Amino acid sequence: MAVCVAVIAKENYPLYIRSIPTENELKFHYMVHTSLDVVDEKISAMGKALVDQRELYLGLLYPTEDYKVYGYVTNSKVKFVMVVDSSNTALRDNEIRSMFRKLHNSYTDVMCNPFYNPGDRIQSRHEGARKAWWQELLELGALKRLRREGQKTCRPATLLHQCRGCTPQ
């Protein structure tokens, strides 16, 4: 499961950074910012001839003992960085690609909003009241993984719910 998601502007300042365990938030901010050097190296390694045909998904940027950091770059050079827990071995590369595509689509929706000024920080509609949309997306991905492994599950607790088959997290 992803523990941190970041959207970084072309000029390398954060537009949106959210992490699930808030007690390690500074650690995740540091990991995101250190991964920007690897993103720049991967982009420059592709060369200027392949700019039109480049792959947006950069793959694994670097692993640590506890986390793996993945990257994605748009055509306008906005960077998406996702920090994933290393203990989740069932998470496949194509699942991470699809999460980045959904994040990219959501970013495009924000850019199409006439009330958003490009370059401003992106504010979640659900801050404080509910979990962010990307947290719900990641929990649904974790739910699919648990079902594939044959474990009995219900929908994760996106809102407070009472279920006889599980305990709310």
pLDDT tens digit sequence for 80-136: 999 998 887 777 888 888 888 888 888 888 888 888 777 777 776 655 434 455 555
- Asked if the structure places residue 161 within a domain, the reply is no
Residue 34 belongs to a domain: yes
Q: Is residue 153 part of a domain?
A: no
Reported for 96-105, long-range contacts at CB under 8 A and 24+ positions apart, including other chains, are 96/57, 96/70, 97/57, 99/2, 99/137, 99/138, 99/141, 100/56, 100/57, 100/70, 100/72, 102/137, 103/5, 103/7, 103/72, 103/134, 104/56, 104/72, 104/74, 104/80
**Domain assignment present for 104:** yes
Alpha-carbon separation of residue 142 from 1, 99, 155, 156 (angstroms): 7, 12, 10, 9
Task: Please check whether residue 169 lies inside any domain of the structure.
Answer: no
Give tens-digit pLDDT for 53-92.
557 888 899 998 889 999 999 888 899 999 998 887 777 8
Query: Domain residues for 142?
Result: 2-148
Cite the beta strand spans of the chain per DSSP E.
2-8, 14-19, 57-63, 67-73, 79-85
Question: What is the tally of structural domains in the chain?
Answer: 1
> CATH number for the domain including 58?
3.30.450.70
Within a domain: 157: no
The verdict on residue 164 lying in a domain is no
The answer as to whether 158 is a domain residue is: no
* Global pTM value: 0.68
